[in-house]
C-alpha cells in the first residue's frame, strides 16, 4: 500500500491504477539476487492498516520467523513523506534509526519517483530497501526461508497444490483484493459499478466453494486463505462504507462470515489485526473520498469472536504442523485495536 503526500487527496478524482512493485529483488536461499536468507539481517516494515502488508505479518507469524526477521510497524496516518515511525520513541525506528520509510528507499535509489509502499523489507546493515514486491514476499517466506521456519511450521504453499492456489489467488486479487480499491477510488459511475460488481460476483462464486470445504484449496490453510482473509477482515469496517462496496455486508453472508471468523480465531490471524489502525488509516488518509476525516464509530466488532462451527467441515488448519505460539512481547496489538 502506497500513500502519503498529495496523492491522498487525488483518490476518487483521477483513475485508479495499482502500481507495480518497483523493487523486485528476492531474498532467497541461494542469494541469487545478492540477498541471501539470513537470520537477523533484514527488517520487515509494515502498516497494520494495509492488507498487503498484513499478508506478510500473518505469514511471518505462522511460519515462526519472528526471531529471524524483525518487525517495524509504521503509524497508520502518514504525512507528506508517507509512512513514518511516529509510534516509536523519538519518532525513529529503533533498529534502522530512520524517521520515514522513504529514507530506506532513497538509500536504494536516490530520487525514486514512485510511491513509498508497504510491505517493504530493508537490509539492516546498509539501511537499503531490498524489496517492496508484495506479491512475492510471502511466497518466498514459505519457500525460501524454510531453514529459519519454526519447528512445526505449516506448508502455506504446498508444491502439489500451487497451480490451483495460483489460479484462485489470481481471481481473488483481480476482483476482490484490488477490486475494492477500484470501486473505492473510481472517478465515475460506470467505473465504480463495474468494479463493485466484480467484487460481489467473485465473493458469490467463492461462497459455494467455501460452503463445501473449510479452506480455499485443499484441507489446510494456504497462502490463498491469507490473501482473501486480509480483505474480508476489512470489509465491513472500511470497504462496505468508505469504498461503497455495499451490496451486502460480510456479516450478511453466512458462509463467508463463518469462514472469516474461523481464520480470525486461528493463532496468527486475528492476533495480528488492529481495527483501530485500519479504520483511522482509511478514513483519515483518503481525504479525496472522506474530506472530513471523520472515523465512524461502527461496526460492532464483537462478532469476530463468536463460534463459527467451521470445524464441522473437517480440515486441518495447520496440516502436519502446529499452531504458532504466543505473540512475541512488543508485537501485541493494543487493546484499542481488538474486538
**Annotated active-site positions, please?**
50, 181
- Give the pairing of strands 70-73 and 120-123: unpaired
The phi and psi torsions of 106 (rounded to 5 degrees) equal -65, -35
267 close to 254: Cβ distance less than 8 angstroms: no
72 - beta bridge partners? Answer: 45
Q: Which alpha helices (H) appear in 150-253, and where do they start and end?
A: 162-172, 179-184, 189-212, 223-234
Number of H helices, E strands in the chain: 10, 4
DSSP 78: -
For residue 39, the Cα-to-chain-centroid distance in whole angstroms is: 23
C-alpha cell at 203: 465473493
Q: Is the dihedral of CA 252, 253, 254, 257 positive or negative?
A: negative
The helix/strand/coil state of 82 is strand
- DSSP string over 252-317: G-HHHHHHHHHHHTSTTTGGG--HHHHHHHHHHH-TTT-TT-PPP-----GGGGS---GGGG---T
4 close to 83: Cβ distance less than 8 angstroms: yes
DSSP 238: I
Distance (Å, whole) CA 162 – CA 145: 17
114 close to 22: Cβ distance less than 8 angstroms: yes
- The number of beta carbons lying within 10 Å of the beta carbon of residue 335 is 7
The helix/strand/coil state of 169 is helix
HSE-CB of 286 using CA atoms within 13 angstroms: 25
Amino acid at each position: 500500500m502506497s500513500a502519503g503526500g498529495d496523492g491522498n487527496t487525488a483518490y476518487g478524482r483521477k483513475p485508479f491504477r495499482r502500481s507495480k512493485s518497483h523493487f523486485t529483488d528476492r531474498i532467497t536461499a541461494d542469494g541469487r539476487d545478492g540477498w541471501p536468507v539470513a537470520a537477523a539481517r533484514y527488517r520487515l516494515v509494515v502498516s497494520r492498516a494495509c492488507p498487503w502488508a498484513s499478508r506478510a505479518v500473518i505469514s511471518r507469524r505462522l511460519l515462526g520467523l519472528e526471531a529471524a526477521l524483525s518487525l517495524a510497524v509504521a503509524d497508520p496516518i502518514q504525512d507528506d513523506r508517507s509512512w513514518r515511525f511516529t509510534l516509536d520513541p523519538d519518532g525513529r525506528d529503533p533498529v534502522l534509526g530512520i524517521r520515514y520509510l522513504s529514507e530506506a528507499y532513497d538509500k536504494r535509489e536516490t530520487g525514486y519517483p514512485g510511491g513509498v509502499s508497504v510491505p517493504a523489507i530493508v537490509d539492516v546493515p546498509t539501511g537499503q530497501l531490498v524489496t517492496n514486491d508484495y506479491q512475492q514476499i510471502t511466497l518466498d517466506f514459505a519457500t525460501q526461508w524454510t531453514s529459519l521456519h519454526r519447528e512445526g511450521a505449516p506448508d502455506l504453499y504446498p508444491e502439489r497444490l500451487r497451480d490451483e492456489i495460483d489460479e484462485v489467488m489470481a481471481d481473488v486479487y483481480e476482483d476482490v483484493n484490488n477490486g475494492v480499491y477500484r470501486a473505492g477510488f473510481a472517478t465515475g459511475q460506470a467505473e465504480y459499478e463495474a468494479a463493485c460488481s466484480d467484487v460481489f460476483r467473485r465473493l458469490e462464486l467463492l461462497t459455494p466453494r467455501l460452503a463445501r470445504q473449510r479452506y480455499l484449496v485443499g484441507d489446510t490453510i494456504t497462502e490463498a486463505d491469507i490473501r482473501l482473509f486480509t480483505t474480508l477482515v476489512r470489509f465491513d469496517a472500511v470497504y462496505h462504507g468508505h469504498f461503497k462496496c455495499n451490496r451486502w455486508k460480510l456479516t450478511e453472508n453466512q458462509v463467508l462470515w463463518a469462514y472469516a471468523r474461523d481464520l480470525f480465531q486461528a493463532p496468527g490471524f486475528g492476533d495480528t489485526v488492529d481495527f483501530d489502525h485500519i479504520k483511522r488509516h482509511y478514513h483519515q488518509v483518503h481525504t479525496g473520498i472522506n474530506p472530513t476525516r471523520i472515523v465512524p464509530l461502527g461496526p460492532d466488532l464483537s462478532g469476530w469472536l463468536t463460534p463459527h462451527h467451521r470445524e464441522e467441515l473437517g480440515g486441518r488448519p495447520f496440516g502436519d504442523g502446529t499452531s504458532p505460539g504466543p505473540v512475541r512481547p512488543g508485537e501485541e496489538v493494543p487493546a484499542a485495536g481488538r474486538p
